[in-house]
Amino acid sequence: MREEGGVPPADPAVCTFVAAECSSSPRSHRRSRHHAPRHVLEEHRVARTAAVGAAGAVVIGAAFGLTGGSVGGDGGDRPLDAAPAGASLDRALDERGEQAASRGLARASLAPGTSTAPLPRAQAPATQPAPEPAPAPAGSSAAPVPDAPADCEEYSGNRQIGCSLLSEFGFELDQMPALDQLWSHESGWNHEAYNAGSGAYGIPQALPGSKMGSVADDWETNPATQIRWGLGYIQDRYGDPISAWSFFQANGWY
């Protein structure tokens, strides 16, 4: 049906589409302008302008009896569907806004002066070898036995050690026969000799045997440690081995 003048009446759906776009009333589902970047707002403005122009072209086409129209999209034309015009426009604006935001992020990631080379992988610090622990302090040990003098060669084993150590205490070699007799009666020069009745131990039969620990910690197994302690005991108590042997002969102990 045509009105006077030959101009067909305007399509109410198209008028509603244009009126919805041109209306200044806010829509609750539109994005807030205060939270969108400037380049996104610019994209929105361009998209709205294009949409309004396209909607105007539809109105003009309807006035001349045309029955179809199109809205410009990315890379081609897309027919208008039967959905409400306002919803289609908002969806198109949202899509353009998301595309613009993604382009803005891409530009920001490739800002001038930004290197795209891969970051070097963090290297683990070179491990330093752990310091070797300091050796635990060992117990005191006996001093080495001096070489046996020529006159001591007639002795062997623990007796030769005793003969070699006489000089450490200022004794002459003529003291060795008396010392040999004394300790032969006491222990037979056995550094492991133990008297179960008295608890005396070692070559000089120290009572108790732990007294010899004043010389070295190896007093239980080292003949030289026991002999050094025995010679020191004889020197302090009797003066020399000959005197100690004389006392033993008279008393049966020293």
Final residue of a domain: which of 75, 107, 139? 107
Q: Given this model, what pLDDT does residue 142 score?
A: 65
Final residue of a domain: which of 107, 131, 163? 107
Q: What is the full per-residue pLDDT of the chain (254 aa) written as tens digits?
A: 444 455 555 555 544 444 444 444 444 445 554 556 666 667 667 667 766 666 665 555 555 554 444 444 444 444 444 445 556 666 766 776 676 556 655 554 545 555 555 555 555 555 565 555 454 444 566 678 777 678 898 999 999 999 999 999 999 999 999 999 999 999 999 999 999 999 999 999 999 999 999 999 999 999 999 999 999 999 999 999 999 999 999 999 99
Q: Based on the fold, state whether residues 102 and 154 are members of the same structural domain.
A: no
Q: Based on the fold, state whether residues 174 and 90 are members of the same structural domain.
A: no
Q: Given this model, what pLDDT does residue 147 score?
A: 77
Which helix (H) or strand (E) is 70 found in, with range?
Answer: strand 70-73
Report d(CA 36, CA 55) in Å as an integer. 26
For the purposes of burial, counting CB atoms within 10 Å of the CB of 36, is it exposed (0-12), middle (13-18) or buried (19 or more)?
Answer: middle
For the purposes of burial, counting CB atoms within 10 Å of the CB of 107, is it exposed (0-12), middle (13-18) or buried (19 or more)?
Answer: exposed
Q: Given this model, what pLDDT does residue 28 score?
A: 47
Torsion of CA 210, 216, 222, 223, to 10 degrees: -80
Q: What is the pLDDT of residues 121-167, one digit of tens each?
A: 555 555 565 555 454 444 566 678 777 678 898 999 999 999 999 99
Q: Is residue 225 part of a domain?
A: yes
Final residue of a domain: which of 107, 127, 161? 107
Q: Is residue 126 part of a domain?
A: no
Which positions ≥6 away from 35 have C-beta within 8 Å? none
Give how many domains the chain has, as a whole number: 2
Report d(CA 37, CA 79) in Å as an integer. 31
Q: Is residue 86 part of a domain?
A: yes
Q: Based on the fold, state whether residues 100 and 167 are members of the same structural domain.
A: no
Q: Which domain holds residue 188?
A: 150-251
Q: Based on the fold, state whether residues 155 and 245 are members of the same structural domain.
A: yes
Q: Based on the fold, state whether residues 65 and 156 are members of the same structural domain.
A: no
Report d(CA 123, CA 133) in Å as an integer. 29
Q: Based on the fold, state whether residues 103 and 160 are members of the same structural domain.
A: no
Q: Is residue 113 part of a domain?
A: no
Q: Is residue 42 part of a domain?
A: yes
Q: Given this model, what pLDDT does residue 79 score?
A: 46
Q: Is residue 131 part of a domain?
A: no
User: What's the pTM value of the predicted model, to 2 decimals?
Assistant: 0.46
- SS (HEC) of 149-186: CHHHCCCCHHHHHHHHHHHHHCCCHHHHHHHHHHHHHH
Q: Is residue 50 part of a domain?
A: yes
Report d(CA 116, CA 121) in Å as an integer. 15
Q: Is residue 52 part of a domain?
A: yes
Q: Based on the fold, state whether residues 243 and 156 are members of the same structural domain.
A: yes
Q: Given this model, what pLDDT does residue 3 score?
A: 47
Between helix 38-63 and helix 12-22 the angle, nearest 10°, is: 160
Q: Based on the fold, state whether residues 162 and 243 are members of the same structural domain.
A: yes
Query: Which candidate, 140, 141, 173, places its Cα nearest to that of 159?
Result: 173
